Amino acid sequence: AQTVTQSQPEMSVQEAETVTLSCTYDTSESNYYLFWYKQPPSRQMILVIRQEAYKQQNATENRFSVNFQKAAKSFSLKISDSQLGDTAMYFCAFMKLFGATNKLIFGTGTLLAVQP
């Protein structure tokens, strides 16, 4: 069974600074996706960034980038130039690439507070 672990329940960063959120996972699968989702107080789960395990290049989306270490089963999210609107709960998630059901397996989340 796959598991996703986020060891930082809460983090705080100053506006315009850079912050890194950690995520580790455990799987015996070779082909999978990893995701970071953002859940603001509005509750809507929003996809931040996606990484395909077969790609060696780390994904980037504007101010968001990941450090994907497949051998170490580590998938951290770096947020550059933090903005007040980045304040939210961030979830790391795993999804097997092949199989009858492609369910997302989530970590317990990291609450990020961006301070003015």
Partner 1 sequence: ETGVTQSPTHLIKTRGQQVTLRCSSQSGHNTVSWYQQALGQGPQFIFQYYREEENGRGNFPPRFSGLQFPNYSSELNVNALELDDSALYLCASSLVPGNEQFFGPGTRLTVL
Interface residues with partner 1 (CB under 8 A) are 4, 37, 42-47, 50, 91, 93, 95, 97-98, 100-109
**Residue 100 Cβ vs partner 1, minimum distance, rounded to whole Å:** 6
Distance of alpha carbon 100 from alpha carbon 80, whole angstroms: 37
Contact between 25 and 73 under an 8 Å Cβ cutoff? The reply is yes
Q: Which is nearer to partner 1, 79 or 107 (CB)?
A: 107
**Residue 52 Cβ vs partner 1, minimum distance, rounded to whole Å:** 11
Distance of alpha carbon 45 from alpha carbon 31, whole angstroms: 24
Q: Which is nearer to partner 1, 70 or 111 (CB)?
A: 111
Per DSSP, 107 falls in state -
